[in-house]
């Protein structure tokens, strides 16, 4: 491991209460490492919300385990803890608590149920960085947590992921896995990612995001850029040969820069989210009311509308950045969910949310002007 990568792991762990961290090429690789270290294998079951990205399901299936989906509650889009216990069987090995959009899961209830049953809890913090539950930082409540630094996450290193351990024994197992199996990043892949980061910093702003995404997807299909997901990852339950890949120095350097400005990033997100709340309330929209236990830092601001895809189609021409998470119970909408053990009707609240929810930008390149333009656009549609 290079000194830069080690420095980044230590800096990230220090920022989250001094925890032991391990860096990877992508966030899904971090999840895979945690699952392996926990001994997840063929025949085991892993519980997760039925409102997630298919890339969170793949690491489970790569180990021969079975994903088990829990429906969500409609306010925070997190797994409904009232439905959790009925999904547990003698084969349940792990519960993944995904803090959707940055809203904290009701961790006390999850941990209580898991503790009674002897089940490990992993926090999915890919959309949550800096949020708190009852004063405790998200990622520090379960046995382990994983984070993503992909393009549209709380901060970006291009791609990238981190596993965080709250258990010394588990950390030792992950460290051995990395020593034995971790694949170094090829020089060419690292250079291409570095070029993409330079383009991102120079040209990607709220008004240009939609056009840039369309260009990027075309380039990705042609193999000219390093994409978030490969065709093989989207096609089934067999891991690509180079899946278990470590982090590059390019990503680690970007990560160190991002940590240095992370408090400003978080303060900005809180300020912009509050502004959405105020402006939408003034227009007569209902905004989320959270319990005092929850202190979120949102990655995007989710709203429900009745004509989701019409809004998405019109947004680009209006210079509005509009996200589509989650397009399906297992995002993206092209996913053949049946391949992943999901049956339509299994999670009705999740399916309803996938048809209604769009999400609005909060990242550091948004401004008060961006927020007002976005609210003006979204209020041209009916709240669902």
pLDDT band at 178 (very low <50, low <70, confident <90, very high): very high
pLDDT of amino acid 219: 67
Residue 257 within a domain: no
Same domain, 165 and 199: no
Spatial distance between the Cα atoms of 193 and 205, rounded to a whole number of angstroms: 19
Q: Does some domain include residue 82?
A: yes
The whole-number pLDDT of residue 259 equals: 97
Is the pLDDT reported for residue 204 higher than 70? yes
Q: How confident is the model at residue 218 (pLDDT cuts 50, 70, 90)?
A: low
Task: Looking at the structure, tell me whether residues 232 and 280 fall in a common domain.
Answer: no
Q: What is the mean pLDDT of residues 332-350?
A: 95
Which pLDDT band, with edges at 50, 70 and 90, does 239 fall under? Answer: confident
Report pLDDT for 236: 65
For residue 252, being part of any structural domain is answered with no
> Are the C-beta atoms of residues 49 and 98 closer than 8 Å to each other?
yes
Q: What is the DSSP letter of 268?
A: H
Same structural domain, 146 and 234: no
Q: Is residue 126 part of a domain?
A: yes
Among candidate residues 156, 181, 206, the one where a domain is terminated = 181
Residue 384 lies in a domain: no
Task: Give the domain CATH number at 306.
Answer: 3.90.1150.10
Residue 253 lies in a domain: no
Query: 160 and 228 share a domain?
Result: no
Q: Give the residue-averaged pLDDT of 167-180.
A: 97
Domain count, the chain: 3
Task: Tell me, yes or no, whether 152 lies in a domain.
Answer: yes
What is the CATH number for 168? 3.40.640.10
* pLDDT tops 70 at residue 217: no
Whether residue 214 has pLDDT greater than 80: no
Looking up tokens 């189609």 gives: 313
Q: Which residues of 214-244 are buried (b: 16+ CB within 10 A; e: fewer)?
A: eebeeebeeeebbbbbeeebeeebebeeebb
**Mean of all residue pLDDT scores within the chain:** 94
Q: Which of the four pLDDT bands, split at 50, 70 and 90, describes residue 230?
A: confident
Q: At which of 161, 181, 201 does a domain end?
A: 181
Calculate mean pLDDT across residues 3-24: 95
3-state secondary structure of 124: strand
Higher-pLDDT residue of 83, 229: 83
Same domain? For 125 and 52 the reply is yes
Q: State whether 224 and 272 are in the same domain.
A: no
Q: pLDDT at residue 246 above 90?
A: yes
Residues 44-103 have pLDDT tens digits of 999 999 999 999 999 999 999 999 999 999 999 999 999 999 999 999 999 999 999 999
Q: What is the model's pLDDT at position 216?
A: 67
Domain end marker among 144, 162, 181? 181
- Least confident stretch, 170-179, 268-277, 295-304, 311-320: 311-320
Residue 251 lies in a domain: no
Mean pLDDT of 273-294: 96
Element (H, E) at 303: strand 300-304
Are 143 and 21 in the same domain?
yes
The pLDDT value recorded for residue 229 is 76
Shared domain check, 374 and 300: yes
Q: Are residues 49 and 164 in the same domain?
A: yes
Task: Looking at the structure, tell me whether residues 232 and 121 fall in a common domain.
Answer: no
Tell me the C-alpha distance between 158 and 332, whole Å. Answer: 19
71 and 161 within one domain: yes
In a shared domain, residues 29 and 125: yes
**Enclosing domain of residue 201:** 187-242
pLDDT at 209: 75
Indicate the pLDDT class of residue 185, thresholds 50, 70 and 90.
Answer: very high
Structure tokens at 274: 């509050």
| 78 within 8 A of 106, measured Cβ to Cβ | yes
* pLDDT score for 141: 97
Q: What 3-state DSSP class applies to 357?
A: strand
Give the model's pLDDT for residue 220: 65
Helix ranges restricted to H, 124-226: 168-181, 187-203, 209-221
Report the pLDDT averaged over residues 102-130: 98
């Amino acid at each position: 491991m290079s000194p830069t990568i080690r420095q980044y792991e230590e800096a990230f762990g220090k920022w989250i209460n001094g925890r032991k961290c391990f860096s990877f090429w992508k966030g899904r690789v971090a999840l895979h490492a945690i699952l392996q270290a926990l001994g997840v294998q063929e025949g085991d079951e892993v519980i997760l919300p039925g409102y997630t990205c298919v890339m969170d399901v793949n690491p489970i299936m790569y180990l021969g385990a079975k994903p088990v989906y829990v429906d969500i509650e409609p306010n925070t889009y997190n797994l409904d803890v009232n439905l959790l216990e009925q999904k547990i069987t003698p084969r349940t090995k792990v519960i993944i608590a995904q803090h959707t959009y940055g809203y904290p899961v009701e961790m006390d209830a999850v941990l209580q149920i898991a503790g009674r049953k002897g089940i490990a809890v992993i926090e999915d913090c890919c959309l949550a960085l800096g949020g708190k539950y009852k004063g405790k930082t998200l990622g520090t409540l379960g046995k382990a947590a994983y984070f993503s630094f992909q393009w549209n996450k709380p901060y970006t290193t291009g791609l990238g992921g981190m596993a965080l351990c709250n258990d010394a024994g588990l950390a030792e197992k992950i460290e051995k896995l990395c020593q034995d199996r971790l694949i170094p990043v090829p020089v060419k892949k690292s250079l291409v990612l570095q070029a993409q980061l330079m383009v991102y910093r120079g040209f990607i702003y709220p008004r240009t995001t939609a056009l840039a995404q369309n260009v990027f997807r075309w380039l990705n299909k042609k193999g000219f850029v390093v994409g978030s997901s490969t065709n093989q990852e989207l096609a089934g339950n067999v891991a690509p040969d180079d899946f278990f890949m470590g982090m590059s120095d390019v990503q680690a350097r970007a990560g160190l820069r991002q940590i240095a400005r992370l408090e400003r990033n978080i303060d900005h997100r809180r300020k912009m989210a509050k502004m959405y709340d105020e402006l939408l309330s003034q227009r007569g929209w209902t905004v989320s009311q959270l319990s005092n236990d929850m202190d979120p830092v949102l990655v995007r601001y989710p709203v429900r509308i009745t004509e989701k895809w019409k809004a998405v189609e019109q947004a680009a021409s209006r210079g509005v950045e509009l996200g589509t998470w989650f397009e399906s119970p297992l995002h993206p909408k092209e996913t053949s969910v049946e391949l992943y053990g999901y049956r339509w009707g299994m999670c009705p609240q999740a399916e309803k949310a996938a048809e209604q929810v769009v999400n609005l930008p909060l990242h550091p390149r948004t401004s008060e002007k961006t927020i007002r333009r976005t609210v003006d656009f979204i209020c041209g549609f009916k709240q669902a």
